[in-house]
Structure 1
């Protein structure tokens, strides 16, 4: 049967639970990327911290195999989009958790125009409406490689949804309808005033 698999945490929690600046930063990331909870932030921070640790270890190596190990690490990060094509070991040392969050499936679905909000993107993924190279994917936290970015699409029938308008309000919008109501109200008051004036003139003539 073999030994049972030991499950380990994929993240480390903050050392100080009530640090104001860190809490504010995490809340902003959670909102910007539509994350379910802060564990997803801690997972990203742990992964990025591991890459930085490996890079610092390579910087301190003076043996001949340093170049080979650097190439392996850099190429891996380039494939996942964490480094640009001209990235170096110094760029690895400056990686942030946001760099990894940008490569999540949930973020890229939004950027590809398959959703209008991060929450909608997460919903489409978990409900099985998103495909990667024709294969259904249901994990919003999945890290997408650079070569896979253009392979995102709908799984099955495309979902029709209303996109957010960034142009000025058009006819039929709430803004225009509100203006129409105000104009209509002003017109009624004008007609009422004119009728009162005509009635007053008629009374004067009769006298």
Structure 2
């Protein structure tokens, strides 16, 4: 049996809980990226803060070990698709939380068109319908690398392109139905009124009257 340790907190919340501007920004991000709660934002904020702190430390470190750490840090961020080739430590300080949110597995599933909505993307991941490099992954917050291959699990029903949850009927794709004009039914002849009674009827009535007299 290993040593039982208290799990370490992986994030630090906001120093002031009632900042209106920050609360509004978090609300927008939560809705835009389909996050479960604001803790997911705080976790990435803490991760980004640690990355920037490391970059600031390495700026002043000119030793061989410091240069090596710089290269590894930049290479790691390039592999995540956050930085581009030729980036420097100064570029790391410009990274925003939105860039990290966009690399989450949940966001990438939506970006690549594997899911229709952020909510559906999260459900697919949680229920084991998504694979990363042919391995099932049920962690929506997993940061996707540029070399990662995302796909449906072979056993997932979503491999069927005709699955109801994947079929989207667009208005422009709908074919207009040809309207066939049916012939109008003839209106029933109206019963003639007394004034409109034909002459033949009037003549018959006169003959009957003469006979009876």
1: distance between equivalents of 2:117 and 2:42?
Answer: 22
Q: 1:24 to 1:52 in 2, by over 3 A?
A: same
1:152 corresponds to which of 138, 142, 150? 150
Radius of gyration: which is bigger? Answer: 2
Alignment match, 2:133: 133
Alignment match, 2:115: 115
Question: For residues 1-207 of structure 1, what are the structure 2 equivalents within 5 Å?
Answer: 1=1, 3-148=3-148, 151-155=149-153, 156-159=155-158, 160=163, 161-164=165-168, 168=172, 170-171=174-175, 206=196
How far did residue 3 of structure 1 move?
A: 3.7
TM-score normalised by length of structure 2: 0.75
Q: What SS does structure 2 have at the residue aligned with 1:73?
A: helix
TM-score normalised by length of structure 1: 0.77
Q: Deviations over 1:138-191 (max 9, x none)?
A: 11111111111xx1111123412245456547358xxx9xxx9xxxxxxxxxx9
Alpha-carbon RMSD? 3.1
Matched residues, number: 186
2: distance between equivalents of 1:78 and 1:140?
Answer: 21
How far did residue 5 of structure 1 move?
A: 2.4
Q: What SS does structure 2 have at the residue aligned with 1:206?
A: coil
How far did residue 7 of structure 1 move?
A: 1.3
Q: 1:165 to 1:67 in 2, by over 3 A?
A: farther
By percentage of residues, which structure has more helix?
A: 1
Ranges in structure 1 where 5+ consecutive residues have no aligned partner: 181-190
